[in-house]
Structure 1
Amino acid sequence: MPRLPLLAALLLSVSLTLGAGGPDAAIAEGDRAREDGRPAEAVEAYSRALEEDPCAVPALHGRALARRRLGEFRAALADLAAAVELEPRNAALHHDLGLTRLDAGNLKGAVEAYDEAIRLDPGVSRTWNNRGFARRLLGDADGALRDITMAIQIDPGSARAYRHRALCLYNLGDWEDALGDFETAVRLEPAGQDHAHLRLWILRARLGRRAKADGELEAWLDAGNPADAFPQTAGRFLLGKATRQELLDAAGSGGGRDERVRRSEAHFLAASRALADGDPDAARADLEAALRQGVEETEVIRSAAAELERLGRKD
């Protein structure tokens, strides 16, 4: 049998290697690892795929998402930039570029990436919703509401978008519309709505519907909700069946992030009940305590800041 030319032999070798698995197999392995919550393993698999094909956009995209999960935002942004250069009309890449820029603190850059994703594919609800979130963080409440409302128009079954708009309206002090959106979110997605049920009590009480607030929350608790101890205690506290100290104890006293997040929520809930009870001074003290917990901005922190600002304007 005659010897193959050197180039043909090399091509055959590459072909046999790819046939034995190649980048597609490594990409599939990375996808599985990422979906199973193993981002470090996913990065390794996607990197193997890119060694075989440096232009494999699914590998670049997947590795960026895994690196984002690991908090490696600079590396994730580099992967996404490379992927966008290869596929500039891929709306999903621009969307995830927006997510990662937002994580990295580049809010204006996030909005620009979402702008491009929407230009390429305006019919994706989550892109409008996520641009609305970036605009909220930039202080553009009107623009945020327009975006979130468009997300709902595109997908009226999105509990996430209704919940997001409810939080935005809550912080603006639009209690009635916020209540309606929280009610819709719970109806669309009954499971996993612990925080929404607590907000429903707050809004109904603030609107002077304390009996309905108590009745709905008590029925929810009696039905075996929620599964976790802290929201159970929080619900009992709002109903007057647990003390403020019991609420704070349930949040935990450790110095970890989870405990500090729960303590910020506990102080926010204590302030909310104080406001419903007509005690603005107690509410102010708890709102200030919520903001002192040293956690990065969360929805509770944003709401606590909004409530404190309203109390300040009344002085």
Structure 2
Amino acid sequence: MKKRCTGIIVAGFASVLLTQPSLSREVSVVSAVHSEIQQAEVHNNQGVELAEQGRLAEAITAFNRAISIYPEYEHAHNNLGLALGNQNKFAEAIAAFNRAIEINPRNFETYNNLGIALGSQGKFAEAIAAFNRAIQINPNDPVSRQNLGVALWSQGKISQAVASLQKARELYAMQNNSAGIQEVGVILNQISSPAN
């Protein structure tokens, strides 16, 4: 009996020793990934600073550098899309936003950005779908509802546009965002003006 118990204990002990090296390798892999993420964040942050300075070409280079270091870095893809969109490179921006969505399909802001790029290309049906997805993820985001309203208006869906814009205005009011309330008011006035 004792030999069996000893055998079990020894076998258990041996298995712990055998798994330790692979645990160490996993920690090293995690450390390497963490290091890659940190390096990518540095380039992403540089890109944001450059974009804020209006140096979009340099920002795009920085975002691409971040992505080359860590291809799964969602924010770098999203920021790349924003920079490309600001250069009116909407097809490339859409590709960057779609990649960010593949990485994280729960980021409503990326869907909103995608919708703006699609709308800028006149692809209003696709833009509406993107804005609706953003709203499904975060029903309390006034920006997505405002953008949905504009896209619906562009499609001639006036009553739906007005409903979306009114909801956006309510959400802006809940956030005490007077600039957003004013912006929506201007759009609603444009919709109701006799020229439309």
Tell me the residue number matched to 2:184.
161
Tell me the residue number matched to 1:104.
121
Distance 1:37 1:138 in 2: 32
Kindly state the Cα deviation for residue 128 of structure 1 after the two structures are TM-superposed. 0.7
Aligned partner of 2:43 among 11, 26, 36: 26
Structure 1 residues 90-169: aligned runs within 5 Å: 90-156=107-173, 157=178, 158-169=181-192
Distance 1:18 1:142 in 2: 51
Kindly state the Cα deviation for residue 110 of structure 1 after the two structures are TM-superposed. 0.2
Aligned partner of 2:61 among 39, 44, 63: 44
Distance 2:61 2:35 in 1: 18
Kindly state the Cα deviation for residue 18 of structure 1 after the two structures are TM-superposed. 3.9
Tell me the residue number matched to 1:262.
none
Distance 2:54 2:134 in 1: 26
TM-score (norm 1): 0.49
Distance 1:35 1:90 in 2: 22
Kindly state the Cα deviation for residue 147 of structure 1 after the two structures are TM-superposed. 0.7
2:91 alignment partner, SS class = helix
Amino acid at match of 2:147: N
Distance 1:70 1:52 in 2: 24
- Listed one character per residue, the Cα deviations across residues 73-93 of structure 1 (whole Å, up to 9, x for unaligned) are 111111111111111111111
State whether structure 2 residue 104 is matched by structure 1 residue 87.
yes
Kindly state the Cα deviation for residue 36 of structure 1 after the two structures are TM-superposed. 2.0
Distance 2:119 2:83 in 1: 16
Structure 1 residues 1-315: aligned runs within 5 Å: 15=32, 18=35, 22-156=39-173, 157=178, 158-170=181-193, 173=194, 303=195, 306=196
Structure holding more helix per residue:
2
1:37 alignment partner, SS class = coil
Structure 1: gaps of 5 or more residues = 1-7, 174-302, 307-315
Distance 2:183 2:192 in 1: 14
> Following TM superposition, where does structure 1 have runs of at least 4 consecutive aligned residues deviating by more than 3 angstroms?
none
Q: RMSD in angstroms over aligned alpha carbons?
A: 2.1
| % same residue | 22
Kindly state the Cα deviation for residue 51 of structure 1 after the two structures are TM-superposed. 0.8
Structure 2: gaps of 5 or more residues = 1-24
Distance 1:117 1:37 in 2: 27
Bigger relative contact order (CA 8 A; separation at least 6): 2
Kindly state the Cα deviation for residue 33 of structure 1 after the two structures are TM-superposed. 1.3
Amino acid at match of 1:168: I
Number of residue pairs the alignment of both structures matches: 162
Distance 1:131 1:118 in 2: 9
Distance 1:165 1:67 in 2: 29
